[in-house]
Structure 1
Amino acid sequence: MPPTQHPTAWDDPATRRAWAKLIISALLGQIVWPAVWLGLLAGYVIMSITWTLWLFFVPLLYSFYRAFLQPAYISWAFRTRRLLRAYPWQVFEKPESGIGKIPGATAGDVWLKFPDPERPGETTALILKVHIRSMWWRRRLGRGYASPKTAQAGQVSFAGDPRFAAVIAVPGPRRLYVILRQPTDGRGHVDPGAASPAALERARRAGVRLPDPQSALP
């Protein structure tokens, strides 16, 4: 069933199943990673041999890092759902991508360009900042050459507005990942640009932080 057939991405049962896997994984991680960290720490204390610290150091550090990140994974899962409930899936064949060399991107930042929904012929770039959840995508985009890995991301499902935020996925959908525009002020607001009132209202429903319309009045 074509993903664009549904009014929103969330109306697709396959999308809801993919999101259920995402949130279950995040919730399980909230239990498993702290338990792993505590188990390793207890093992080190019980052994009480100084040289064993080197055996436990890397696993302890990584499990603590993952335990620290899990609340953010849960938050991102619910942010993903808000976007999926507001926008339909669109499928793009080999969207333009690259590494660095655009405004706002560092030398190692991977980006994707998608059509501006209100300006035919123009595109807007979304940047995948360095993060553990972005690694799958970063290894397959922006390379400028074809390979078995880049072919895995040759077709990209997109739900969102590239001027604000979006969920990208491999059609199915799989590998759900949220990309956000970078805030333009100290309060975490995204620049609304020249987007129409309808586009701004939809973005707000999707959880995008935009300036209060009243703040623009004299």
Structure 2
Amino acid sequence: MAYPVHCKTAWQDPMTRRAWRRTAVLRCAALPAWLLGFLAWLFAVVMTPAWLLVLWLPVLCVGIWYTLLAVIATTSLARTRRVLRVYPWQVGVAEAKPKENGSTRFVVSDPERPEKTVSLGHGGLIGTRGHFWVRAVKSGHVTETWFAGDPRYLGVVAAPGPRHLLWVAQREATDSRMPPRKKGVSPAARAMARAAGARVGTD
């Protein structure tokens, strides 16, 4: 599968923009679907005997959890686009590996020290075992991975095409309670990561 080597950033590639729009439609459709599910749950509670509430409460908890996952997936769309507007696609630098806890680990070469690697995780939460990147990596269906970003901070992973865009990040690149990474990163790399939305600290 060829990839857009002529594009300075992944977002300049028309196929990448189409993949992002397709991802946006699917994720935005999932959220109202869960909200409609809540209305169906409420109707069922009203129309059935009160003693059945003990059965309906677990259904509500599951629905709330999956709705939160849908909200998180939807809010990552803007972050995904921001990364794609800064970094180009790279092939042959990332390897997807399954973990025993039901998550996926993306092992990516360090941009400034190719002999070393950096890991980015995805999944491991209740309800994420059915996600494409957990299922496909565990089954061995995915053998090649595209990556755009800086694994020391954040990035976007995609199946060749690109398909199944996934935003991933190191915790210190997004969590204000943790000190941002500075050691071993050049000023130019930190500037790009900042433009992509990562916390890199002050110079």
TM-score (norm 1): 0.78
- Partner amino acid for 1:66? Y
Are residue 162 (structure 1) and residue 143 (structure 2) matched? no
Q: Secondary structure at the match of 1:95?
A: strand
In the superposition, relative to structure 1, how do residues 2 and 68 fare at CA in structure 2: closer, same or farther (>3 Å)? closer
Are residue 76 (structure 1) and residue 53 (structure 2) matched? no
Determine if contact 2:128/2:134 at 8 Å carries over to the other structure.
Answer: no
**Residue-by-residue CA offset, 1:11-67 (whole Å, 9 max, x unaligned):** 11111111112222232233221121122112211223423752x445433322222
Are residue 193 (structure 1) and residue 183 (structure 2) matched? yes
Q: How does 1:126-205 map to 2 (within 5 A)?
A: 126-131=120-125, 132=127, 135-141=131-137, 149-150=139-140, 152-183=141-172, 187-205=177-195
Aligned to 2:17: 16
Q: 1:98: how far off?
A: 5.6
Q: d(CA) in 1 for partners of 2:105 and 2:157?
A: 12
Q: d(CA) in 1 for partners of 2:4 and 2:44?
A: 49
Q: d(CA) in 2 for partners of 1:210 and 1:60?
A: 40
- Partner amino acid for 1:211? G
**RMSD, matched Cα:** 2.7
Determine if contact 1:114/1:162 at 8 Å carries over to the other structure.
Answer: yes
Aligned to 1:206: 196
Q: Secondary structure at the match of 2:184?
A: coil
1:124 to 113, 118, 121: 118
Q: 1:81: how far off?
A: 0.7
Q: Secondary structure at the match of 1:3?
A: coil
**Residue-by-residue CA offset, 1:73-131 (whole Å, 9 max, x unaligned):** 2221111111111111112288263637xxxxxx6654222221112322222222424
- Partner amino acid for 1:136? F
Q: Secondary structure at the match of 2:149?
A: strand
In the superposition, relative to structure 1, how do residues 34 and 166 fare at CA in structure 2: closer, same or farther (>3 Å)? same
Determine if contact 2:123/2:134 at 8 Å carries over to the other structure.
Answer: no
Q: d(CA) in 1 for partners of 2:58 and 2:84?
A: 37
Q: 1:160: how far off?
A: 0.7
**Residue-by-residue CA offset, 1:131-163 (whole Å, 9 max, x unaligned):** 44574323344x6xxxxx30x210001111111
The percent of aligned pairs where both chains have the same amino acid is 31
Q: How does 1:13-92 map to 2 (within 5 A)?
A: 13-51=14-52, 53-54=54-55, 56-92=56-92
TM-score (norm 2): 0.83
Q: d(CA) in 2 for partners of 1:51 and 1:188?
A: 45
Gaps of 5+ in 2: none
**Number of aligned positions between the proteins:** 199
